[in-house]
Amino acid sequence: MQAVTEEQILAALSAVQDPSQNKDIVALGLVQAIQIKDSNISFMLVVPPHRGPAMEPIRKRAEQVALSIEGVTSATVLVTAHESRADGLSASSSSGGAADRQVKEKILESKVRRFIAVASGKGGVGKSTTAVNLAIALKLEGLRVGLLDADVYGPSQPRMLGVSGKPPAVGGDMVAPLENYGIKLMSMGLLVPDDTAMIWRGPMVQSALTQMLNSVAWGELDVIVIDLPPGTGDIQISLAQQVNLAGAVIVSTPQDIALLDVVKALTMFEKAKVPILGMIQNMAVWHCPDCGRVDHIFGEGGAAEEASRRGIDLIGDIPLSLAVRQGSDSGLPVILSEPHSAHAAAYKQIAASLIERADLRSEKTS
């Protein structure tokens, strides 16, 4: 079977008409960011803001046409609505623009009591592993918990939580999150094939994040833990604008190079007026299982010192361990695979602290 090509996709989609323009969506330049992975495809329909609400019938038609292409077994179509300016910036990214004067959207406030962001300034410090273990620790405390994998470019939570498959439709344009270990999950990793590179610009990423919040039937939850991508880019800024965050948790290793980027993350949340609930020092120390020797492989106490210097509480130290890594790779997080370990105890202690700091106690149990 021949591989599906971008030319085939565009040719097929040229049959989809935009009734308001009397032209097809390809001729209008609406089809962008086509991704092809084996027999799975995805693309965006990029329209002006005022067109967004009316695009659902066209989106569904484009999806049907894409699925009819020979060799295509799944198609994901997202709509992104943004305004272009002469200087090339989107209106949502300009300071002093209309977006800055709007009141923050209170997404899902009626059903989700709190949102907590787990962030890091630098990649590779164990932020996603920390997020999934904290979500389960909060569940073990009796809370109703969701996990939003907001790392659009490198989603890892489906593997860490041990779930796969496409979220099922539940009516209209809504889908249901997938669930494992009592945690409800939504991730871009559930919507596009593995190993697909997401080559999206800022407005597309913002639209995808908004849809993962607004078009998902999360149900009644006490908290959604949001696993942010590393850095201080579009996703972090959009999230602060769209969601009334109860606060953020900053994850770092003790090493100086990681702490340099932590400072940037702290500054960003401060400017966005998002409370910092505390810092977590990950990979803090390694205990040799054979001889009992203690090594500070990534430095000693760096995150604790930075937290103290900035008046932020250090709410947990997570030891470096092979079991933590194995749990993340296998889809059985260490808090469940080794519930009596020092690592599980650390996550549980952090979760208990967050319950008090962010007022997460379930209304059912309070």
Could you tell me which residues are annotated as the binding site for ATP? 121-128
Say which residues have a Cβ less than 8 Å from residue 335's Cβ, sequence separation at least 6: 133, 136, 137, 140, 327, 343, 344, 347, 348
Angle (CA) 146-356-224 rounded to 5° is: 10
Q: What DSSP state is assigned to residue 68?
A: T
Identity at 118, one-letter amino acid code: V
Annotated binding residues, as ranges? Answer: 121-128
How far is the C-alpha of 330 from the C-alpha of 103, rounded, in Å? 42
How far is the C-alpha of 219 from the C-alpha of 3, rounded, in Å? 40
How far is the C-alpha of 202 from the C-alpha of 188, rounded, in Å? 15
Contact 249, 116 (CB under 8 A): yes
- Token digits of residue 241: 């604008």
- Token digits of residue 333: 């997080």
